[in-house]
């Protein structure tokens, strides 16, 4: 089973400029990730993605938000 630390390690290997993790209110096993990147971003396999959004930013950057649920 994949863990939060597994996802953190996978994201840092993708050369993102910045990422932020917030725990979802009321859900101890669900986390919101926000990633800023100029590179092509490929979601790591094996994670329970609940939502995924992409927004273009200035300077050819992209903001990607996604919610991941980790099973107990």
Q: Which pLDDT score, from 0 to 100, does residue 20 have?
A: 92
Q: Show contacts of 2-7: CB within 8 Å, 24+ apart.
A: 2/46, 2/47, 2/70, 3/70, 4/31, 4/70, 6/44, 7/33, 7/44, 7/47, 7/68
**Bridge-partner residues for 55, per DSSP?**
63
Q: The pTM is what?
A: 0.76
Report, as ranges of residue numbers, the positions in the chain whose pLDDT lies below 70. Answer: 72
- The confidence score (pLDDT) of residue 68 equals 92
């Amino acid at each position: 089973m994949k863990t939060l630390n597994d996802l953190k390690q996978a994201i840092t290997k993708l050369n993102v400029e910045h990422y932020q993790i917030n725990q979802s209110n009321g859900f101890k096993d669900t986390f919101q990730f926000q990633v800023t990147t100029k590179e092509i971003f490929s979601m790591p396999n094996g994670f329970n993605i609940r939502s995924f959004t992409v927004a273009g930013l200035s300077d050819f950057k992209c903001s990607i938000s996604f919610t991941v649920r980790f099973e107990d």
